[in-house]
Chain A
Amino acid sequence: MCQVEEEDLEKVAASEALAIPGESLKISDISERPCIKCGAPAAIHLRDEDFKCGACLVASVNQKFRIVLAKYKISSSKERVLVAFSGGPASSALLGTLRHATSGSIYSRLFLVPVILYIDEGASFELPLEERKKHLTSVMEAADSSGSAWLLLHSSLEMVFSSEPMQLTSEFVGGTALDVHTDTHCIERLGKLMRSVKTQTGKEEIAKLLRTTLMRKIARQLSISTLFLGDSVDRLAVQLITNTALGKGKRLPLDLGYLDAHDPICTIVRPLKDVTKKEIAMFNAVSEIRSVEVPVIQSVGDTRASVYSFTEKFVFDLQAGFPQTVTTLCKTGDKLCSVTAGKIGKKAEDDFCEFCLGPMDSSEKDSCTAENSIALSLRLSALLKKGPVDLEDVMSERRSGISSCGSKDVGCGDTETGGCCQSKEKKQPECDRLCYSCRWMMAELGDRTLLPDDLASELDQRGRRNKMRESIKEFLL
Chain B
Amino acid sequence: MIKVLGLTKRYGTKEAVKNISFSIAKGEIVGFLGPNGAGKTTTMNIITGYISATAGKALIAGFDVLDDPIYARQHIGYLPEHPPLYQDMTVNEYLRFVYNLKKVRHRKFEKHISEICELVGISHVRGRVIGNLSKGYKQRVGLAQSLIGDPDVLILDEPTVGLDPNQIIEIRNVIKNLGRERTIILSTHILPEVNAVCERVIVINDGVIVADDKPENLAKKIAKQNRFSARIVGESQAVVNIVSGVPGVAGVKFIKNAEENAGDYIITSDETRDIRQPLFYALAENNMPYLSFTSYGVSLEDVFAKLTQQDSEHSKEELSK
Q: Is B truly associated with A?
A: no
Residues of chain A having any CB pair with chain B under 8 Å:
none
